[in-house]
């Protein structure tokens, strides 16, 4: 049986039980005794073309900045948008129903009457900026208006000294790449912004490097989807409440994770690294 596992590491315990003529529980007990564990595949954004070089270029720039100032990325506003729906996925590993007998717990999901809530957020050092809710699909004109009209209001509580030295980061989605949006960033931040075609280019297909992607959205969805969403307004209230529970220590750990990820990305020459973090 162990030879079969060594020959095909993807074989299922059910298939082993059938082939060997033993019960599945016996198969699992033997595998556990010999220190075998059922590791799961890790899914990542596909990289291709110049992605590896672009990721290395950005991460080496980031390390250069850190060598000059250990706290440099405390001044970078990492930003992103995300869509929350009334049929969003829940993390079932974190949902339990303790009982003596199986309660046959189920949860209905609304697929025929869908609605969604689009939200922008940012992480700046030890504070979250936002949330800001977007009406409809984000366009270049809408994003330009957000940068000129809404973002300054969201930053009002940030000390002026921080705002005067702050960098702005976003990914390369079409709305971010619009000329009108880039004009605003060039005017407001000059050479202090990171993005597609910006003074510092953001590497495409790199959600593993931006705090909203590798931390915030997963955290928020785990909180807001723990109960069935009811209305868009209810969803917005849940998102606001989840934001309010994000602590300073959590954000500082996120910043340290970003720095660690930069080093790991360089170590693997721009390839995937999240599966190597633990």
The Cα 46–Cα 38 span in angstroms is: 24
Q: Are strands 76-85 and 127-134 parallel, antiparallel or unpaired?
A: unpaired
Structure confidence at residue 22 (pLDDT) = 82
**Cis bond upstream, residue 188 (ω within 30):** no
Full set of structural domains in the chain with CATH: 2-33 (no CATH), 51-276 (3.30.420.10)
Over residues 24-39, the pLDDT tens digits come to 888 778 788 877 877 7
3-state secondary structure of 236: helix
Q: Please answer whether residues 243 and 102 qualify as being in contact, where contact means their C-beta atoms are separated by less than 8 angstroms.
A: no
**Residue 239 tokens, joined:** 């998102």
Over residues 139-178, the pLDDT tens digits come to 999 999 999 999 999 999 999 999 999 999 999 999 999 9
Question: What's the whole-model pTM score?
Answer: 0.82
Q: 236: burial class by Cβ within 10 Å (0-12, 13-18, 19+)?
A: middle
Ranges 48-62, 114-128, 225-239: which has the least confidence: 225-239
Structure confidence at residue 89 (pLDDT) = 57
> DSSP of 57-95, one letter per residue?
HHHHHHHHHHHH-TTGGGGEEEEEEEEEETT----GGG-
Question: Average pLDDT, stretch 1-14?
Answer: 76
Q: How confident is the model at residue 42 (pLDDT cuts 50, 70, 90)?
A: low
The Cα 216–Cα 78 span in angstroms is: 11
**Residue 224 tokens, joined:** 């807001």
Question: Average pLDDT, stretch 121-140?
Answer: 96
């Amino acid at each position: 049986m162990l030879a079969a596992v060594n020959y095909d590491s993807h074989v299922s315990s059910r298939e082993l039980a059938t082939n060997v003529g033993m019960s599945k529980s016996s198969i699992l007990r033997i595998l556990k005794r010999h220190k075998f564990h059922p590791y799961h595949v890790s899914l990542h954004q596909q990289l291709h073309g110049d992605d590896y070089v672009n990721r290395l270029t950005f991460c080496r720039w980031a390390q250069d900045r850190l060598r000059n100032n250990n706290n440099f990325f405390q001044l970078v506003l990492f930003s992103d948008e995300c869509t929350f729906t009334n049929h969003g996925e829940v993390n079932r590993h974190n949902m339990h129903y303790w009982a003596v007998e199986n309660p046959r717990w189920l949860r209905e999901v609304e697929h025929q009457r869908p609605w969604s809530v689009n939200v922008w957020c940012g992480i700046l050092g030890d504070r979250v900026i936002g949330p800001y809710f977007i009406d409809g699909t984000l366009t270049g004109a809408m994003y330009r208006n957000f940068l000129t009209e809404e973002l300054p209001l969201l930053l009002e509580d940030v000390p002026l000294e921080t705002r005067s030295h702050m960098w702005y980061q976003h990914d390369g989605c079409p709305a971010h790449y619009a000329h009108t949006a880039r004009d605003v960033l060039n005017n407001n931040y000059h050479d202090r912004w990171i993005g597609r075609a910006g003074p510092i280019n953001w590497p495409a297909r790199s959600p593993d490097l931006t705090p909203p992607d590798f931390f915030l959205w997963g955290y928020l969805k785990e909180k807001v989807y723990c109960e069935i969403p009811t209305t868009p307004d209810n969803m917005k209230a849940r998102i606001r409440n989840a934001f309010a529970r994000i602590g300073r220590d959590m954000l500082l750990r996120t910043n340290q994770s970003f720095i660690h990820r930069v080093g790991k990305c360089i170590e693997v020459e721009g390839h995937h690294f999240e599966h190597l973090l633990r």
